[in-house]
Amino acid sequence: MFAVEKYHKAHSVAEAVRLLAADPFAVPIAGGTDILVKLREGHREYANLVDIHAMPELTPITLEPDGSLAVGAGATFTQVIESELVQRHSPVLAEGASWVAGPQIRNVGTVGGNICNGSVCADSVPPLLVLDAELELQGPDGSRRIPLRGFHTGPGKVARGHAEVLTRIIVPPAPTGSFGAASIKYAMRQAMDITTIGCAASILLENDRIQWLKLAFSVAAPTPVRCPAAEAAAFGQPLDAATIAAVQAAVAADVSPRTSWRAPADFRLHIIRELAARAIDKAAARSAQPGRSTA
Amino acid sequence: MSHTITVTINGKLESAQVEPGMSLLDFLRAQGLTGTKQGCGVGECGACTVLVDGTPVDSCLFLAVWADGKAVRTIEGEARGHELSPVQEAYLEAGAVQCGYCTPGLVMTTTAFVEKHAGKPVSREDIRRGHAGNLCRCTGYTTIVNAVESCLKK
């Protein structure tokens, strides 16, 4: 028996917002694959639940009139992976989601939960960071749209207001031209494992020059991060070994990897540099496939 | 604070009172359906896998209240009297059972996997990935993959 002290099922986002606003200790629960583990471990701060599990309002994955992809925060990893819209518009998001845990967890856990629990190792976050995703949150004062970049404020902390519900993740349309993206997870096993280092890259090439590079990591700093120094090192440069080496040198300024039982900091930095090169290679290879948007 | 849920378990409609903190696993076992096993209790081993509306979930991390209005399938619903299901038969034929503790969960995962992939090309790697949420400490998995492969060929 989980030590649930108060439980309210919300039938709509508006009701969930009202219930959260009414209880300063309430937390929303969607898939529950993190919160229920926390409760089992005795974390009392999750004892008052506002249940938004499988709320129909939060699950659709749609294409917006402006060509953006809108992923319902309550969509499960499996729904994201199997969505034809995601595969066509932002396959790198499906790729990132496919690394999460195992099938049973992916069938229940949600992308919104993966973002909102603030975990530094969230597998869906690096791909969304290199796609410049935005978040739509609904709260007592209405709805607001903010960049995902900056939403993580510290280990396990995000800029979600207490009574706010993440409703949708918006991914802008992929640019036209030679654009590609890739996501790589480094872990001890290929499933059921917490990420040691996660990396995603998106790249736009023109005549073999890098128009721009976007690079993001999980577990490389106290929050998932984008890499402005590494990205600047690639800007306008030819896609060659010298540029990759410059990116690998520059990325150290963007990250602050920690030592944990999983890996020491210097080993993590080695992996960060290696994954940067591999993710750029993979993204660039995908950008070379004409007639296919490969975000 | 208990809630009334109406859930179809192995084809039979049941109504019950559950506390919001009750897991689907505890609920099922309290109903006498002890075929579903608790292993790790934190969604890592898959021993407690059941199907909710045909989808495999770790019942240890799934609240009983979430099963309201859903159809749940457990290992008890797979055999017809003394006749094993095709998946159970394949496990038996392949020698994919040793201590048996993970078997109910694995059989449920395979049952959904085979239903989902019927008629599609599936590699042994796909089978391994599709069963990655179920740990087995005895068999070394090869016989399990063989069992799944033979189900897909039928």
**Which chain B residues are within 8 Å of A102, Cβ to Cβ?**
46, 132-134
Contact A4 B19 (CB under 8 A): yes
Contact A40 B21 (CB under 8 A): no
pLDDT of residue A292: 45
Question: Does position A195 have pLDDT exceeding 80, yes or no?
Answer: yes
Distance CA A122, CA A243 (A): 28
Distance CA A263, CA A252 (A): 17
Distance CA A215, CA B140 (A): 39
Is A173:A68 a contact under the CB 8 Å cutoff? Answer: yes
Distance CA A105, CA A35 (A): 13
Residue ranges in chain B whose pLDDT is less than 70: none
pLDDT of residue A290: 54
DSSP A254: T
Give the global pTM: 0.97
Distance CA B79, CA B66 (A): 26
**B61 close contact with A: CB closer than 8 A:** yes
**Three-class DSSP category at B115:** helix
Question: Does position A274 have pLDDT exceeding 60, yes or no?
Answer: yes
Is A13:A138 a contact under the CB 8 Å cutoff? Answer: yes
- Tokens 């006498």 locate to B32
**Which chain A residues are within 8 Å of B42, Cβ to Cβ?**
37, 40
Chain B closest CA to A231's CA: distance in Å?
34
Q: Read off the pLDDT of residues A3-59 as tens digits, 9 standing for 90 and up.
A: 999 999 999 999 999 999 999 999 999 999 999 999 999 999 999 999 999 999 999
Burial (CB < 10 A; 0-12, 13-18, 19+), residue A113, is buried
Distance CA B117, CA A262 (A): 36
Distance CA A232, CA A237 (A): 10
- Tokens 């099963």 locate to B67
Kindly provide the residue ranges of all beta strands, DSSP E only, lying in B3-146, ordered along the sequence.
3-9, 12-18, 49-52, 55-58, 71-73
Q: Read off the pLDDT of residues A115-164 as tens digits, 9 standing for 90 and up.
A: 999 999 999 999 999 999 999 999 999 999 999 999 999 999 999 999 99
Distance CA A39, CA A57 (A): 26
Chain B closest CA to A106's CA: distance in Å?
9
**A101 close contact with B: CB closer than 8 A:** yes
**A191 close contact with B: CB closer than 8 A:** yes
Question: Does position A289 have pLDDT exceeding 80, yes or no?
Answer: no
